Structure 1
Amino acid sequence: MKAILSRLRIDAYILAIVAMVVIAAILPARGAGKDVLDIVVHAAIALLFFIYGARISRQAIWTGILHWRLQSLVFVTTFVVFPLLGFGIAKLADGHLDSGLVTGLMFVALLPSTVQSSIAFTSIARGNVPAALCCASLSNLAGVVITPLLATMVLSAGTGGMSLDAVGEIALQILLPFVVGQFARPLIGEWLNRQKTLTMLVDRGSILLVVYSAFSAGVVAGIWSRVTPQSLGLVIVLDLVMLAIVLVATTAASRFLRFTTEDEIAIVFCGSKKSMASGLPMANIIFPASAVGLIVLPLMLFHQMQLMVCAALARRYARRAETAVPIVPART
């Protein structure tokens, strides 16, 4: 099965997410089951960010801060350029899409960068991996505070839950476990870095739980009657437009500012990504349960697109690096 999925370029994790959506459509969580699910989801998210905190080296964060030009460009792209672009696209979509989907498009633009895939694609493309690690880590850390603040300022209050109370809840559920994890790092950090399977299960398992919870609430609230094939297609197109513009912009800015090719690769992959691992838990807190499923749909679609597009881009960078290596004649 893995070989078949590999040939078709289908990520098994994406299939698992789709399976959660299908299960939620058939067997949504209701009543006491939903109460139990909410507790489990909160615990899983707290554990996820505790592990993030315990795995990230303070030395790596400090080293990344010192490369301030690269960090600044990624930060501005993630939290200034992307939100402005998302705001413009959301304005264009307003009146053509359900308000929940419009909010979802804007929400995608407010999120921090991914961690794992940004580093993985930078490595495949032979870019500056330490810089990518620092960019992605700092972006996620900053996003815990910046994303809900931007959401409070930018998104319509009509979606519900858009208050500074949501910022406090995010700090309690996400930032506090991260800080506790940082303090626990000297005790368990090295052990966690060796437990690749365990950390992957927590990472991906928590997201699957959030997806099931969000889509269950959407099914119970009857929001899916508002999604038509035409609106779904338009969301896909707008997600692709947003991704393409940022990829071109980060590449052009990197070359204009005379970064090395290795730094350019880190900037392109960190600056163009949006984190589903951070986005889904935040959406679960910021927005009312009945609206979350619809709002996170653009994020789930964007996540899959960025994986496919960046995988192809990473292979292209890698091929260019191979052809640029000079051939040294063998000594006789």
Structure 2
Amino acid sequence: MARPKFLPDNFTLCLVGTVILASLFPVHGHAAAAFNWLTNVAVGLLFFLHGAKLSREAIIAGATHWRLHLVVLISTFILFPVLGLALKPVLSPLVTPALYAGVLFLCTLPSTVQSSIAFTSIARGNVPAAVCSASASSLIGIFVTPALVSLIVTNQSASGGSAWHTVWNIVLQLLVPFVAGQLLRPVIGRWIERNRGVLKFVDQGSILLVVFGAFSEAVNEGLWHHIPLTALGGLLVVNAVLLALALGITMFTSKKLGFSRADQITIIFCGSKKSLAAGVPMAKVIFASNAVGAVVLPLMLFHQIQLMVCAALAQRWGARDMSAERAASAGDESRSGPNKHSAAAARR
């Protein structure tokens, strides 16, 4: 039986279930230490598999469209942080300081990879450019995100180490496995392509592990006692405003700069989205363990909003382009029809 359209996808349900489970049965003590070790292994495996999966040819092929990539990177790493800081006096009263620190962290993150490419494809945008932009954003984010966090996120939520220390931790935990995967791509790349389900399982499983560990630690520190329901409602408003502004600005800018419709679609989807897959592991490295739960909560909510809104936009734009192509094809056939009949009459 088909899933009702009003129900969220399985991964979203798992995320909600993980938060509830961690809230009711948080791990602590030696169990928390063992769980933390398991999570680190899972995150390292995730980036190793992504490194083995990512084709260098795809990156090189799409890298020539530098104007598009520059607009996407500016939107991702400049526009979002500026919006987060500019809106802080207006929107921060709607949430707690810890939650707005999470909003600012969200603003520093790279774009998504899988969903940006998928939505670009559905909307009939420039898919090769989307592959390159989203992949470049993820790689650049490994270095740019911790630097931006040290600049714009309040020190009370940070882990206490220097920016360089944070970058070094990210290099060890995320970049080194990624590079190892790239080096071993000739050996295991085909196997990963044939077994995409393994990557999906590790991808989603590692996120669930990090979320469970983060919320366990946060619950042990009294997370839900410090965040009222009104703040969660305010967080929904903050995320909706942030996404609406990002979508509106990327739509307007890409059109004014003279990009083709396909390129505009790529810029909109790659430049307005934020990566849950990259953000949750980075939060674990960058922030103190007792702050991670509150920091990733805005990202988790933003992730669901961006998926629903961008899915609706992609379906609408894709259907509109398909209808236009059908109309053009029908027009060509109607114009060629009389000529075919005239030619047949002349032959008779």
Pick aligned residue for 1:128 from 103, 126, 129: 126
1:237-276 aligned within 5 A: 237-276=237-276
> 1:64·1:71 contact (CA, 8 Å) conserved in 2?
no
Distance 1:314 1:44 in 2: 32
**Residues 224 and 294 in structure 1, CA contact (< 8 A), matched pair in contact too:** no
Could you tell me which amino acid in structure 2 is paired with residue 50 of structure 1? F
How far residue 36 of structure 1 moved from its aligned partner, in angstroms, is: 0.7
Asked if residue 209 in structure 1 is aligned to residue 209 in structure 2, the reply is: yes
Shift in Å, 1:157: 1.6
Give the aligned partner of residue 345 of structure 2: none
> How far has the Cα of 1:95 moved from its partner?
4.5
Give the letter for the 1:220 counterpart: N
Q: Deviations over 1:167-198 (max 9, x none)?
A: 11011101111111111111111221221111
1:266-298: per-residue Cα shift (whole Å, max 9, x none)?
Answer: 111110100000000111111111111111111
Go from structure 1 to structure 2 and tell me whether the alpha carbon gap of 1:287 and 1:129 turns closer, same or farther (over 3 Å shift).
same
Equivalent in the alignment of 1:294: 294
Which residue pairs with 1:159 in the alignment? 157
TM-score normalised by length of structure 1:
0.96
For the residues of structure 1 that align with 2:90 and 2:50, how far apart are their CA atoms? Answer: 37
What residue in structure 2 maps to residue 19 of structure 1?
A: 17
Change beyond 3 A, Cα 1:171–1:90 = farther
| Mapping 1:1-332, distance limit 5 Å | 3-4=2-3, 6-162=4-160, 163-164=162-163, 165-325=165-325, 326-327=328-329, 328-329=332-333
Q: Distance in 2 between matches of 1:32 and 1:69?
A: 51
Q: Which amino acid aligns with 2:313?
A: L
> How far does the alpha carbon of each residue in 1:236-268 deviate from its partner, in whole angstroms, 9 at most, with x for none?
001000000110111111111111111111111
Mapped to 2, the partners of 1:160 and 1:190 lie a distance apart of 40
Return the offset for 1:9. 4.5
Describe the shift of the 1:324–1:44 C-alpha distance in structure 2 as closer, same or farther (beyond 3 A).
same
What amino acid is aligned across from residue 77 of structure 2 in structure 1? F
- How many residues align? The count is 330
Structure 2 CA distance for aligned equivalents of residues 223 and 88 of structure 1: 27
Following the alignment from structure 2 to structure 1, what is the Cα–Cα distance between the partners of residues 54 and 89?
A: 38
The alpha carbon displacement at 1:94 in A equals 3.6
Residue identity in the other structure for 2:68: L
State the 1:97 CA deviation. Answer: 2.6
Bigger mean CA deviation after superposition, 37-46 or 316-325: 316-325
Question: Quick one: which amino acid aligns to residue 329 of structure 1?
Answer: E
Question: Does the residue aligned with 1:296 lie in a helix, a strand or coil?
Answer: helix
| Deviations 1:204-255 (CA, angstroms, capped at 9, x unpaired) | 0000101101110111111211111211111100100000011011111111
User: In 2, Cα distance between the equivalents of 1:234 and 1:177?
Assistant: 38
On the 8 A contact 2:94/2:235 being kept in 1, the answer is no
Separation (CA, whole Å) in 1 of partners of 2:89 and 2:279: 21
Structure of greater Rg: 2
Q: CA RMSD in A?
A: 1.4
Give 2:344's aligned residue: none
Q: Which runs of 5+ in 1 are unaligned?
A: none
Decide whether the 8 Å contact of 1:24 with 1:216 is kept in 2: yes
Task: Give me the identity figure in percent.
Answer: 45
SS of equivalent residue, structure 1 residue 7 = coil
> 2 CA distance for matches of 1:108 and 1:160?
14
8 Å CA contact 1:254–1:264 kept in 2: the answer is yes
CA contact (8 A) 2:84 2:107 kept: yes
8 Å CA contact retained: 2:63, 2:129: no
| Contact 1:113–1:273 (CA under 8 A) maintained in structure 2 | yes
SS at match of 2:87: helix
The answer on whether the counterparts of 1:90 and 1:103 sit within 8 Å (CA) in structure 2 is: no
Q: Distance in 2 between matches of 1:152 and 1:194?
A: 40
Query: Stretches of 4+ moved more than 6 A in 1?
Result: none
